[in-house]
Amino acid sequence: MKEKDNAMKHDGLKALIGTAVAGTAALLAYKFVFQPWHLHWGATDEEIDRKMPGDELIESPDYISTRAVTIDTGPERVYPWLIQIGQGRGGAYSYDWIENALGLDIHSVDEIIPELQDLKVGDTIPLEPNGTGLQVIDLQENRAMILAHPEEGWTWDFGLYPQSESKTRLVSRNRFSLQDANLGFRFYLKLVEPGAFIMERKMLLGIKERAERSTTKEAPEIGIKQISGQ
């Protein structure tokens, strides 16, 4: 009986050690392989190191992601898709079914909506049905859109960098300051980080698909009331 008990204890210890080793290996793989890849998905070393408009809003961020995609059209055909994003607006061009399962009521459009092109500095781009979202800090027509959530120490910059007349790099950068964040929010950020990457990747590809599809159409007229710095 004692031998059986000892064998069971030994097997249980082996299983515990195996689980610990597997968990540690998974954490290390995420930290040193998957996380560096997804934080810089699609971006070149130059784009990762490049200073973008809006970087100065958070001087010492605790978290930075720089992701990018090449779009086979000019920036003037990409920009209209950017400035109409938002809940109750043009959507997020990502996985609507996931966002709606979370109660966000987001529906991504497949066309430029003229009345949504009249975006200006100071507007709020809603992310939820209650209207909370990101404030428009700066707009540079066909070049950049800078958004911020001051309460959460979060900035989200979109930059358009033409490579030729028919090729544009869309670069997305998120910066977080966790200086005033509690332990719960820090844990939440780590928890949602992989899912946020999946949604952002789909968003960039969604903008790419829509902008390239519209290259045979006339570029829409954009009504920007205020362009910062002009």
Please list the pLDDT of the chain residue by residue as tens digits (230 residues): 555 555 555 556 565 565 554 545 444 444 544 567 789 999 999 999 999 999 999 988 988 999 999 999 999 999 999 999 999 999 999 999 999 999 999 999 999 999 999 999 999 999 999 989 999 999 999 999 999 987 778 999 999 999 998 999 999 999 988 776 666 656 656 667 888 999 999 999 999 999 999 865 544 444 333 333 32
Looking at residue 56, its pLDDT comes to 93
CB 142 within 8 A of CB 160: yes
CB atoms within 10 A of CB 98: 14
pLDDT at residue 29, rounded to an integer: 46
Q: What is the 3-state secondary structure (H, E, C) of the chain?
A: CHHHHHHHHHHHHHHHHHHHHHHHHHHHHHHHHHHHHHHCCCCCHHHHHCCCCCHHHCCCCCEEEEEEEEECCCHHHCHHHHCCCECCCCECCCCHHHHHHCCCCCCCCCCCCHHHCCCCCCCEEECCCCCCEEEEEEEECCCEEEEEEHHHCEEEEEEEEEEECCEEEEEEEEEECCCCCCHHHHHHHHHHHHHHHHHHHHHHHHHHHHHHHHHHCCCCCCCCCCCCCC
Phi, psi of 123 (to 5 degrees): -70, 160
Residue 60, φ and ψ in degrees, nearest 5: -130, 75
pLDDT on residue 185: 59
Domain chopping of the chain, boundaries: 1-39, 43-216
Q: Do 192 and 176 meet the contact criterion of CB atoms below 8 Å apart?
A: no
First to last CA, the chain: 85
Instruction: Assign a CATH topology to domain 43-216.
Output: Alpha-D-Glucose-1,6-Bisphosphate; Chain A, domain 4 (3.30.530)
Cβ contact 42:204 at 8 Å: yes
Q: How far is CA 225 from CA 70, 125, 180, in A?
A: 28, 16, 35
pTM of the model: 0.80
Q: Among 126, 80, 53, 122, which Cα is nearest to 219's?
A: 80
Write down the pLDDT at residue 226: 33
